[in-house]
């Protein structure tokens, strides 16, 4: 056990137990227990030890696995059934159901659940055979539709010429008069090959 401050060699120290919050994407955070040496003379806080990385990583993985049913339920609420997801993504029948029950949940299942819960329209892309042009257009259209549903002042535009295709959204300061147009900071017009 430590008896002196590692910074100033003072014996006027206290060992404090504390917790650190570790973020797990799209899941509940995990608490990690840590020990800190606090020096009352130089006011240093030195991290001494904490729970083993294996224990913490195991809890992070458990939280991620626990989040899968909630993520998949969110996809179902967007109109995509389990069987439709399985067909589109080439998964074996009942795979989604097993994941929802907490069995056979791999790192790939966690990642796929996260992606599809954030962008359920990826299912449309899979159903279209992962055609890149279709994927870009479908995701852009769905994203614009989502933004327009939240903010009625948003207007979308699509430009299709022989030279290039462009799409984006514009938000107006005064939606009634549309006098001053201003590009939205969260989704500026994007030039892209579609």
Backbone angles phi, psi at 134, to 5 degrees: -60, -45
Residues 1 and 32 in one domain: yes
Least confident of 44-48, 108-112, 148-152, 181-185: 181-185
Domain containing 46: what range? 1-51
Supply the DSSP string of 125-152, one letter for each residue: HHHTTT-HHHHHHHHHHHHHHHHHHH-T
**What number is the average pLDDT over the span 98-118?**
94
- Shared domain check, 120 and 139: no
Q: Does an H or E element contain 157, and which? A: strand 154-160
C-alpha 36/C-alpha 29 separation (Å) is: 21
Max CA-CA distance within the chain?
77
In a domain, 57, yes or no: no
Select the more confidently predicted residue: 106 or 53. Answer: 106
Q: Which of 79, 82, 71 is nearest to 113 (CA)?
A: 71
Residues 109 and 85 in one domain: yes
Asked whether the CA dihedral 68, 73, 75, 76 is positive or negative, the reply is positive
Q: Phi, psi (5° rounding) for residue 26? A: 55, 30
Residue 172 within any structural domain of the chain: yes
Tell me: do 9 and 42 sit in the same domain. Answer: yes
User: To which H or E segment does residue 181 belong?
Assistant: strand 181-182
Residue 13's Cβ-count burial label (10 Å; 0-12, 13-18, 19+) is buried
SS3 assignment, position 55 = helix
Q: What is the mean pLDDT of the chain?
A: 82
d(CA 183, CA 186): 9
Residue 44 placed within a domain: yes
Per-residue model confidence (pLDDT) at position 151: 79
End position of a domain, from candidates 75, 92, 125: 125
Q: Is the pLDDT of residue 155 over 80?
A: no
Question: What six digits make up the tokens of 31?
Answer: 């608490």
Q: Reply yes or no on whether the pLDDT at 126 is more than 70.
A: yes
- 165 three-state secondary structure: strand
pLDDT score of 178: 43
Instruction: Work out the average pLDDT over 6-34.
Output: 92
Q: Say whether both 188 and 135 belong to one domain.
A: yes
Q: Please determine, for residue 52, whether its predicted confidence score (pLDDT) is greater than 90.
A: no
- Number of domains composing the chain: 3
Sheet holding 30-39, edge to edge: 13-22, 30-39, 45-50
Q: Is the pLDDT of residue 194 over 50?
A: no
CA-CA distance, 132 to 73, in Å (whole number)? Answer: 27
Residue 31, pLDDT above cutoff 70 = yes
For residue 100, what pLDDT is reported? 95
Tell me what pLDDT residue 161 has: 66
């Amino acid at each position: 056990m430590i008896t002196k401050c590692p910074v100033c060699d003072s014996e006027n120290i206290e060992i404090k137990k504390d917790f650190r919050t570790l973020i797990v994407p799209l899941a509940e955070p995990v608490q990690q227990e840590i020990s800190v040496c606090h020096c009352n003379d130089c006011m240093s806080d030195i991290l001494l030890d904490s729970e083993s990385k294996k224990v913490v990583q195991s809890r992070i993985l458990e939280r991620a696995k626990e989040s899968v049913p909630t993520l998949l339920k969110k996809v179902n609420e967007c109109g995509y059934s389990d069987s439709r997801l399985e067909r589109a993504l080439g998964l074996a029948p009942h795979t989604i159901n097993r994941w929802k029950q907490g069995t056979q949940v791999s790192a790939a299942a966690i990642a796929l659940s996260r992606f599809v819960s954030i962008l359920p329209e990826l299912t449309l892309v899979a159903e279209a055979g992962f055609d890149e042009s279709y994927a870009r257009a479908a995701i852009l259209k769905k994203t614009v539709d989502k933004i327009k549903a939240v903010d009625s002042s948003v207007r979308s535009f699509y430009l299709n010429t022989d030279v290039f295709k462009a799409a984006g959204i514009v938000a107006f300061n005064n939606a009634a008069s549309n006098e001053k147009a201003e590009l939205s900071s969260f989704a500026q017009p994007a030039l892209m090959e579609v």
